[in-house]
Structure 1
Amino acid sequence: MLRRRMLLAGSLAATGAMPARGQGRVARLGLLSSGQISIDQFRQWGLPELAREGFVEGRTLQFFARSSDGDPARLAPLAAEVIAARPDVVIAVSNPVAHVLRARDPGLPIVMGFAGTDPVADGLAASLARPGGSVTGVVMLAEELDLKRLEMLRLALPGARRIGYLAGATFVPSRVPAMVAAAARMGVELVAVSAGGPESLGPAFAALRSADVHAVVVGSFPGFSTHAAALAALARGSRLPTICEWRTMAEAGCLISHGPVNEELRRQVARHVARILRGQPPGEIPMFQAERFETVVNLRTAREIGVEVPALVLAAAQEVIE
């Protein structure tokens, strides 16, 4: 049985579309993210997967979502707003979002979509195989992927010795120092600059230019992927090669992207949600780890900023944008 249900009667205008009449009961699914793109992509890939599982928006499912647009100060009030809508399950995009939600309602079923930091080390789960408690979901370990992106950027630009790191405003406190230390072990000086909403991107790139970095690793953060086109334009205007997270970011103008296959992970989040909506406790559902990754190189950007991408990097890419 769902932890919370409600009858179709009453206005749902404040949180989503009115379900079709005569359907009896609906499940209520919330989503809270630091970036609008997570909402858009769950609508694109997650909601159709839920429909295949029998939860159809407007008939048997009500979906409502909120984005802080990169501003960490907005997460707590938005979490309160989402919880006030009495969801049966909430998708939390990132560990900080999951912590904010759980602090306000410890019993609320939460599906991570995605966990960027190890949820066990972060205190959100007892183990990946059996999380226990109220949190399960999809793990992509963005910290490790940021390090992988640094390694790939060094292959693409072997002469770069001072590299910028664009960090998300909601990163856990240990994430930037760990990245700086890992870079030092590689013989690279990493200059970290934090950014949140779109208005902070310009000053962040100005700071990176002032630090005379040779290239930039863009950290895994929904606010950055939401504003990928603006971010890429700032990088190109500064003639700074960037390596970003998602394929869509390379398509928007980043030099290179490397990350999981987004569509697969969104669908897996939906499958976790469906299991909880059918009555399975989240603590009994194993967390899913990303398994497939893709690299995209944008040669148009390379030509624009005057960078020659080595053949080794091109050969490793799943797609090259000419």
Structure 2
Amino acid sequence: MKTKWYFFFLTMIAVSAILYAWLGIQEEESVEIGILMIGENRYEKFTGLQEGLEDLGYSRQEVQYRVMNAKDDEERLSKQIDQLLIEEPDLIVTLGGIETQSLKKKMDQDHKQIPVVFAGIAAPKELGLIEDYKSPGGLFTGINNYHESISGKRLEMLTSLVPQIERVHVIYDSKIEVSKLSLQETRAAAITIGVTVIPCDASSNESLDTLWKSAGTKDAILVLPSFRIESLTDEIVKLTKEKKIPAMGLYDFEAEKGLLASYGASFHSQGYQASRFVSLILQGNKPADLPVELPDGIRFVINQQTKDSLGVTYNQDLLYIADLIHPEAQGGRKR
């Protein structure tokens, strides 16, 4: 009898162990999120997304990321999108305009039905990505980073910050629709402000050489949206330092690298804000029903070292409201 009870208890223990292991696997079942980024500069958006989801209670075991970094290569981005659509993750997060537009084109062609959150792009309705800001329709929703709409405001702030500016070289990208729309906004604002703008097309290999030769005293530089321009940040910073001319960017990382100022939503904050959309979709909501949001905050940043090195007169009122950063002293980024 004792032997029978002994084998009975062993059997119960073995069955319990199997059930426990099976339930553990079920509990640890995760969702897969595809991440599309055109280049390394946008990695900060991914960091913000991860932190946002963790703050919302998602563990690293619950969410698995399939990160595709195209290294500023559009052809590689296209191949990565093909691969991601074959794998069919539960959801895709795009980290910029070129990623989102390229993905939508491929999804339409292949009739793929995967929800997509864009973590900060400009003019999504104008680009045909959504039907309406309040009711996006379709499979796409996310953050309208407003960069196209505030291009004129950036020009106004730049020329107000440094009143002696007479000409502004506007770096845009003729191959990027949002960049062209931003140039239109900038030109309209220039007429009101009364300043001369000189377009500089970053899609041309000779663009910065031309800018170097033409930039002079009482000139400034304004950067418009484009992944190509983002990849040229170090070269633009070098030009502004050697020529000693002020420049306004979109993102705080541009000011941290050495541009005089930036005005816009940071990469990190856009990614963090996009995590809310991801969470809502994972809970069963449809992108079509989630209104597109504007940025939670827009940051006006001035690089203290660059400000002190240019030798120009500044509008003290604007300096007072700016977020002055000291990248060299900080030894890293400030979000």
Describe how 1:62-211 pairs up with structure 2 within 5 A: 62-106=64-108, 107-117=113-123, 119-168=124-173, 171-172=176-177, 173-195=180-202, 203-211=206-214
The reply to whether residue 26 of structure 1 matches residue 27 of structure 2 is no
Unaligned 5+ runs, structure 2: 1-23, 330-335
Task: Provide the rounded CA distance (Å) in 2 between the counterparts of 1:281 and 1:300.
Answer: 47
2:252·2:301 contact (CA, 8 Å) conserved in 1? yes
The structure with the largest helix share of the pair is 2
C-alpha RMSD of matched pairs (Å):
2.7
Deviations 1:4-28 (A, max 9, x none): xxxxxxxxxxxxxxxx977553211
**1:55 alignment partner in structure 2:** 58
**2:243 alignment partner in structure 1:** 238
Amino acid at match of 1:110: V
Shift in CA distance, 129/89, structure 1 to aligned 2, threshold 3 Å: same
Shift in CA distance, 69/22, structure 1 to aligned 2, threshold 3 Å: same
Amino acid at match of 1:65: V
Determine which of 225, 247, 253 is the counterpart of 1:248. Answer: 253
Partner secondary structure for residue 308 of structure 1 = coil
Task: Provide the rounded CA distance (Å) in 1 between the counterparts of 2:59 and 2:231.
Answer: 26
**1:10 alignment partner in structure 2:** none
Matched residues, percent identical?
22
Partner secondary structure for residue 192 of structure 1 = strand
Deviations 1:240-266 (A, max 9, x none): 211112223222211111112544332
Determine which of 299, 303, 312 is the counterpart of 1:307. Answer: 312
Q: Size of the alignment, in residue pairs?
A: 296
The reply to whether residue 39 of structure 1 matches residue 43 of structure 2 is yes
Deviation of 1:170 after TM superposition, in Å, equals: 5.1
Deviation of 1:66 after TM superposition, in Å, equals: 2.4
Shift in CA distance, 289/174, structure 1 to aligned 2, threshold 3 Å: closer
2:304·2:324 contact (CA, 8 Å) conserved in 1? no
Deviation of 1:227 after TM superposition, in Å, equals: 5.9
2:154·2:248 contact (CA, 8 Å) conserved in 1? yes
Task: Give me the TM-score of the superposition, normalised by structure 1.
Answer: 0.81
Partner secondary structure for residue 46 of structure 1 = helix
Partner secondary structure for residue 288 of structure 1 = coil
Amino acid at match of 2:295: A
Shift in CA distance, 228/174, structure 1 to aligned 2, threshold 3 Å: closer
Task: Provide the rounded CA distance (Å) in 1 between the counterparts of 2:114 and 2:195.
Answer: 43
Task: Provide the rounded CA distance (Å) in 2 between the counterparts of 1:302 and 1:33.
Answer: 32
Shift in CA distance, 186/130, structure 1 to aligned 2, threshold 3 Å: same
Partner secondary structure for residue 55 of structure 1 = coil
